[in-house]
Amino acid sequence: MTLRQAQGPGRQAQGPDAATEKPSENPADLDRQNPEAEIALRAEAFRNWGRWGEDDALGTLNFIDPAKRVQAASLVRDGRAISLSQPFDTDGPQKGWRRRTNPVHTMTDTGTDAERGIQGFPHGIGGADDVIAMPLQCSTQWDGLGHIFDHGNAWNGRRAGDVVTSEGDLVTGIEHAASVVVSRGVLLDVGRHLRPETGELDDGHAITVADLEATAAAQGDSARIGRGDIVLVRTGQYARTRRDGWGDYAGGPAPGLSFTTAGWLHRTEIAAIATDTWGFEVRPNEFDAAAFQPLHQVVIPNMGLTIGEMWNLDELAAACAELGRWEFLLSAPPLPITGAVGSPINPIALL
């Protein structure tokens, strides 16, 4: 049985446009009572299974090749380096959902221990040491390809239970991307383009393909999206939390990509995408029936797209606006944690 056959009851999702043979990119066309059918339609239309071979562990990161990295390196003109990471500390946004907590940082050796001479080292040397305990997706991070499944299927059509076990992701663990995620980055400051007075989209704003393309056009040639690029979408929600407090940033209402952007994410052949929000896609999701992160369900296990969340894009946005260019060398490798389905990162944009 195909996913299309397994759509279940309810009004059929809007079929592909006759001219393009692809699902509609107009949110008004969504059957908001039938997320199952809409998900299946796009999963089938934009599936990349087998595109890079049966053993593939990288998905769309395969679009980053040496030539793309050479192009990206040529974008460094001023030598300005900007960290795109939120802090990793106990004052983070997490509330414990699905056992996601904020980092707990503990000192195991301190300056006090050294002063008191209780560390047992000779000739007066002392030191400090520490440990951190945290979920891998509690702050700025990548979602790995083993993070989300579609009807029990993992990336490339594998059975989810054969991929991720109690021993971790045995096939597409995040360690496979450790030397890969260096490419041309492009910032689309949608918040600034659509809300120039504040630079912040309202919670629940669904960013459409038209919004993405209008932002890129307004920003000019340096914001053109190409194969192998890593696209960063700023909504302004993180800036709002820095001013007003975390609120429901972790899992609550948020601006984000519309479910209908799946086709754009596929045809642009971008390597990865990241946002300044907790969940990448708009929340609440765009269905009246029960739904949870439907765009994740299409793009991770079916398209093989790597997704970044909770990035701090504010300083970069200010720098890009000042310089009048929106492209840069982006280095954002995950930690090579064997078998992990996600990883904390400290992305660096070099301008």
Average pLDDT, the chain: 94
What residues contact residue 2 under an 8 Å CB cut-off, 6+ apart?
Answer: 44
8 Å CB contact between 220 and 173: no
The β-bridge partners of 25 are: none
CA dihedral of residues 154, 133, 98, 273 (deg, nearest 10): -50
Over pLDDT 70: what percentage of the chain? 94
Contact yes or no for 232/275 (Cβ under 8 A): yes
User: How far is residue 23's CA from residue 10's CA, in Å, rounded to a whole number?
Assistant: 18
pTM: 0.93
Confidence of residue 133 (pLDDT cuts 50, 70, 90): very high
Q: What is the pLDDT of residue 269?
A: 98
Domains assigned to the chain: 35-92+136-350 (3.50.30.50), 102-133 (no CATH)
Q: What is the share, in percent, of the chain residues with pLDDT greater than 90?
A: 93
Per-residue pLDDT at 22: 87
Instruction: Please state the rounded mean pLDDT for residues 272-298.
Output: 98
Out of 14-18, 256-260, 261-265, which region has the weakest mean confidence (pLDDT)? 14-18
Categorize the per-residue pLDDT at 316 as very low, low, confident or very high, splitting at 50, 70 and 90.
very high
* 3-class secondary-structure state, position 287: coil
pLDDT tens figures, 183-232: 999 999 999 999 999 999 999 999 999 999 999 999 999 999 999 999 99
pLDDT tens profile 90-131: 999 999 999 999 999 999 999 999 999 999 999 999 999 999
pLDDT digits (tens, 9 = 90+) for 38-95: 999 999 999 999 999 999 999 999 999 999 999 999 999 999 999 999 999 999 999 9
Residue pointed to by tokens 């407090």: 245
In sequence order, the 6+-apart residues with CB closer than 8 A to the CB of 18 are none
Cβ atoms of 144 and 174 within 8 Å: the answer is: yes
What's the CA gap between 41 and 263, in Å, rounded?
Answer: 11
